[in-house]
Structure formats: structure tokens, C-alpha cells
């Protein structure tokens, strides 16, 4: 009897859970499904005598695999990636502190990864790009916040990291200056998302 009662309670709980989860459809609330092929689109590199075709293509493969464009392409965080600014940084930021704790959360604006000298990584060396990918170290030797998920990339091999750098260095430069990052407590002047759920203009 004890076993049957617990099986009955478990069955009721499972039925309630299935009812709750199957009843909600975000598309009915006006949400739109993002076209994944657009988010992970990668720009065509320019041929270069400095890097091999195999190295550039391997780097492109990793950029797509790691989903770099989902943050570093303008509009991608809102589901409308700008094909003219692939990997050229985002004017929409990502909050990294809770709006329930900080009225004005800290915000990171994904930077321009094209080799534009003034607004991108054109002045970065190959080693600096590799250090950013594998260790989260910026060109000023500072550690970035793990909003850029470098802790997950620490096991990328040196050859693969240099392939990523070769691909980024081979892109056509796109001039696009993104907003400066915002510290917690300061008010952001540019839009941002919070955990992919909250939106503020």
C-alpha cells in the first residue's frame, strides 16, 4: 500500500509537470525563434601569404563552432545579426551582474574582432590573440570577465588557437566602434540584455 501510494503521488506529480511544461509556448507570447544559421555565419577571409589556407579554414571552423558571432556580431544578441558587421562587435551589451542586486548592472559590449586598427584587433599580435582566446588576457594584460567564456577554451591546443588568430587576422577590417563597458552601479547609455532574458533601452 505504501509503495502504491508513492507511485500514485509520483504519477500525479509527473502529469502536473508535463501539463505545465507543455502548456507554455513562447511563440504564442510574441517571441521569435532565431535563425541559427545567421548567428553562426562567418565572414570570408582575404587570401594572405602569411598564413596557410588550411590554417585559416581551421580557424574559421573554430570561430563557427565556438559561436563567436552570436555575441560579436552586431544585432545577433537580438536575433537580427547584421551581415555587414559579422564579428565586428556589438552595440548591444551583456549584463554580468543581477538587476535584482544592482539597479544598474555591469555591462560588457562584445568587441570588434576584425583587424581594423582603430576599432578592432588590427594592432594585436598573434600571441595577444592567442592569450585572449586561451587565458582571457587583454592587450593590456588584464583578465577579462568570463562573459567571454575563455575558461572553457583553456584546453584549445596552441595550433588551433593560432589558427583562430590567423583567421581573424585574415578578415577584411570593419570599422565599428562599440560602446565602452559599464561598471556595476553606472547607468548604461547603450542597450543590453541580461542572461538573454531582460532587455533595456
Query: Helix, strand or coil for residue 88?
Result: coil
Q: What's the rounded Cα separation, in Å, for the pair 156 and 39?
A: 22
Predicted confidence at residue 25, as pLDDT, reads: 56
**What residues contact 196, with CB distance under 8 A and at least 6 apart?**
77
Segment holding 192, helix H or strand E: strand 192-194
* Cα radius of gyration rounded to whole Å, the chain: 21
How confident is the prediction along the chain (201 residues), in pLDDT tens digits per residue? 444 444 444 444 545 544 444 454 555 656 555 555 455 689 999 988 899 999 999 999 999 999 999 999 999 988 889 999 999 999 999 998 887 788 899 999 999 999 999 999 999 999 999 999 999 887 777 777 778 888 889 999 999 999 999 999 999 999 999 999 999 999 999 999 876 555 555
∠ CA 57-42-170, nearest 5°, is 55
Complete DSSP assignment for 135-152: H-B-TTSPBPPTTS-GGG
Predicted confidence at residue 194, as pLDDT, reads: 79
Q: What's the rounded Cα separation, in Å, for the pair 102 and 41?
A: 34
Work out the angle between the directed axes of helices 158-169 and 53-65 (0-180°, nearest 10).
100
Q: Strand pairing of 198-200 and 192-194?
A: antiparallel
Predicted confidence at residue 48, as pLDDT, reads: 83
Complete DSSP assignment for 42-64: -PPPPP-SSS-HHHHHHHHHHHH
Instruction: Tell which CATH classification among 1.10.3470, 1.10.760, 1.20.58, 1.20.950 matches the domain 53-78+87-200.
Output: 1.10.760
Predicted confidence at residue 32, as pLDDT, reads: 58
Predicted confidence at residue 118, as pLDDT, reads: 97
Global confidence as pTM? 0.76
With cell 501510494, the residue in question is: 5
CA distances (Å), 35 to each of 77, 80, 91, 173, in order?
12, 9, 20, 25
- Whose CA is closest to 187, among 110, 95, 71? 95
Q: What's the rounded Cα separation, in Å, for the pair 17 and 168?
A: 46
Amino acid at each position: 500500500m505504501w509503495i502504491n501510494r508513492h507511485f500514485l503521488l509520483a504519477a500525479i506529480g509527473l502529469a502536473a509537470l508535463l501539463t505545465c511544461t507543455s502548456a507554455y509556448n513562447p511563440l504564442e507570447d510574441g517571441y521569435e525563434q532565431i535563425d541559427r544559421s545567421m548567428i553562426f555565419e562567418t565572414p570570408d577571409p582575404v587570401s594572405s601569404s602569411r598564413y596557410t589556407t588550411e590554417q585559416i579554414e581551421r580557424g574559421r571552423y573554430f570561430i563557427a563552432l565556438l559561436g563567436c558571432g552570436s555575441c560579436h556580431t552586431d544585432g545577433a544578441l537580438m536575433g537580427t545579426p547584421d551581415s555587414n558587421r559579422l564579428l565586428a562587435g556589438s552595440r548591444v551589451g551583456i549584463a554580468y551582474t543581477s538587476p535584482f542586486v544592482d539597479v544598474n548592472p555591469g555591462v560588457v559590449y562584445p568587441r570588434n574582432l576584425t583587424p581594423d586598427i582603430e576599432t578592432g584587433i588590427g594592432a594585436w599580435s598573434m600571441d595577444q590573440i592567442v592569450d585572449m582566446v586561451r587565458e582571457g588576457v587583454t592587450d593590456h594584460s588584464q583578465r577579462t570577465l568570463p562573459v567571454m567564456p575563455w575558461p572553457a577554451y583553456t584546453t584549445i591546443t596552441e595550433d588551433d588557437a593560432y589558427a583562430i588568430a590567423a583567421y581573424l587576422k585574415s578578415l577584411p577590417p570593419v570599422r565599428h566602434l562599440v560602446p565602452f563597458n559599464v561598471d556595476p552601479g553606472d547607468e548604461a547609455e547603450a542597450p543590453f540584455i541580461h542572461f538573454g532574458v531582460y532587455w533595456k533601452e
